[in-house]
Amino acid sequence: MATEIERKFLVRADWSPAAVAGVTAMRLQQGYLLASPQMSIRVRSAPDAAWLTIKGSSTVSENSLERLEFEYPIPTADALVILTTLCTQPVIDKTRYSLYEGSTLWTVDVFAGQNAGLVLAEVELEHPDQTITLPAWIRQEVTSDGRYSNAYLSKTPFSSW
């Protein structure tokens, strides 16, 4: 069974991917076919790949967000049609930066469009009680704040808060 365990954080305004060695970047668009408290079904498109992802309801503890997650590759052309015709609008537009801090892989999402100004970092954990060292560029944990989920942002963009 596929389980996602993650923590989510706001990033300090002075963070810059240019200051990080070994960082990689990928532009992503993602949209939601369904976003409810019980589950979400999304389509995500990168320049050369696309995925359909099904996530179960979230269990939020003090230190993590845990849920079932199933992800499947789909043709990129199909994803683009689904994003523009079937998904709730606006579609999430962001650049995802992947980087290591020590041995921990972090992803930092810099949002564009109606979510511009929002920068979030996520770290996936192997188990809910895993201890991590927070990088200096982390501002505040928002794991338990549902407003920072991409599903919520697709319905209520950051610019409307």
Residue 63 has pLDDT above 70, yes or no: no
* Residue extents of the structural domains in the chain: 3-154
Q: Which residues are catalytic?
A: 32
Return the pLDDT at 57. 84
Contact call for residues 81 and 88 (beta carbons, < 8 A): no
142-156 pLDDT tens trace: 998 989 999 999 999
**CA dist 112 to 3, 8, 100, 156, Å?**
28, 18, 23, 14
What is the third-level CATH fold of 3-154? Answer: Hypothetical Protein Pfu-838710-001 (2.40.320)
83-130 pLDDT tens trace: 999 999 999 999 999 999 989 999 999 999 999 999 999 999 988 888
